[in-house]
Amino acid sequence: MHFLFASAALLALLKPHPVASLAVDASIKAVTLDIVNKNLAPDGFLRSTIVANGQYPGPAITATKGQTLRVTVNNKLTDPNMRRSTTVNFDGIFQSTANSYNEGSAFVTTCPIAPGASYTYEVPLGSQTGTHWYHSELSVQYVDGLRGALIIYDPLDPQRQLYDVDDLSTVIQLGDWWQNSSLPMLARYEATGIVPVSDSGTVNGIGRYQGGPNVPFAVTNVVSGKRYRLRVINQSARNVFTFSVDSHSLTVIEADGVATRPHTVDVIEMLAGQRYSVVLTANKPVANYWINAPFVGGLPSRNLHQNATLSRSILRYRGAPIAEPTTPWTLGPENGVPLIEANLVPLVNEVPPPADVNISLDLTVIAGQAIWNVNNISYLPPKVPTLNKVLAGSASFDPTENTFILPAHKTIQIEFPPTDDDDAHRMCFIASPFLSIDLDTISTAFHLHGGNFWVVKSMSSSTANFVNPIRRDVAGVGGSGTTIRFRTDNPGPWLFHCHIFWHKQAGLATVMLADPAAVRKNTHPTKAWEALCPAYNALPVELQ
Domain ranges of the chain: 357-537
Cα separation, 479 vs 217, in Å, equals 35
User: Is the bond leading into 469 cis (omega within 30 degrees of zero)?
Assistant: no
> Could you tell me the CATH superfamily of domain 357-537?
Cupredoxins -  blue copper proteins (2.60.40.420)
Cα separation, 327 vs 47, in Å, equals 33
Cα separation, 143 vs 263, in Å, equals 32
How many Cα atoms within 13 Å fall on the side-chain side of residue 140?
29
Give the residue from 220, 27, 214, 87 showing the smallest Cα distance to 544: 87
Instruction: Check residue 478 and give its pLDDT.
Output: 80
For β-strands 268-270 and 147-153, DSSP reports them as unpaired
Contact 131, 276 (CB under 8 A): yes
Tell me whether residue 41 is exposed, middle or buried, using C-beta atoms within 10 angstroms of its C-beta: 0 to 12, 13 to 18, 19 or more: middle
Can you give the pLDDT of all 544 residues of the chain as single tens digits?
Answer: 333 323 333 333 333 333 333 445 789 999 999 999 999 999 999 999 999 999 999 999 999 999 999 999 999 999 999 999 999 999 999 999 999 999 999 999 999 999 999 999 999 999 999 999 999 999 999 999 999 999 999 999 999 999 999 999 999 999 999 999 999 999 999 999 999 999 999 999 999 999 999 999 999 999 999 999 999 999 999 999 999 999 999 999 999 999 999 999 999 999 999 999 999 999 999 999 999 999 999 889 999 999 999 999 999 999 999 999 987 655 454 568 999 999 999 999 999 999 999 999 999 999 999 999 999 999 999 999 999 999 999 888 999 999 999 999 999 999 999 875 433 333 333 333 333 333 443 458 999 999 999 999 999 899 999 999 999 999 999 888 999 999 999 999 999 999 999 999 999 999 999 999 999 999 999 999 999 999 999 999 999 9
Give the residue from 130, 129, 112 showing the smallest Cα distance to 121: 112
Dihedral sign for Cα 240, 423, 475, 507, please: positive
Cα separation, 479 vs 470, in Å, equals 18
Give the residue from 98, 69, 176 showing the smallest Cα distance to 501: 176
Q: DSSP string covering 78-107, please?
A: --TTS-S-B-EEEET----STTGGGS--BT
Contact 428, 476 (CB under 8 A): yes
Distances (CA, A) of 172 to 2, 268, 278, 352, 424: 65, 13, 11, 32, 33
The mean pLDDT of the chain is 91
The pTM is what?
A: 0.92
CB atoms within 10 A of CB 370: 22
Radius of gyration of the chain, Cα coordinates, nearest whole angstrom = 24
For β-strands 250-255 and 275-281, DSSP reports them as antiparallel
Distances (CA, A) of 4 to 9, 10, 112, 332: 9, 10, 60, 78
Q: How far apart are the first and last CA of the chain?
A: 70
Q: What is the DSSP letter of 422?
A: T
Q: DSSP string covering 122-160, please?
A: EEE-TT--EEEEEEE-STTGGGGT-EEEEEEE-TT-TTG
CB atoms within 10 A of CB 301: 10
Amino acid in the structure at residue 325: P
Cα separation, 314 vs 305, in Å, equals 22
268 dihedral zone (left: phi>0; alpha: psi -120 to 50; beta)? beta
Contact 224, 317 (CB under 8 A): yes
Give the residue from 25, 344, 42, 326 showing the smallest Cα distance to 178: 42
Distances (CA, A) of 438 to 197, 230, 365, 371: 10, 31, 14, 17
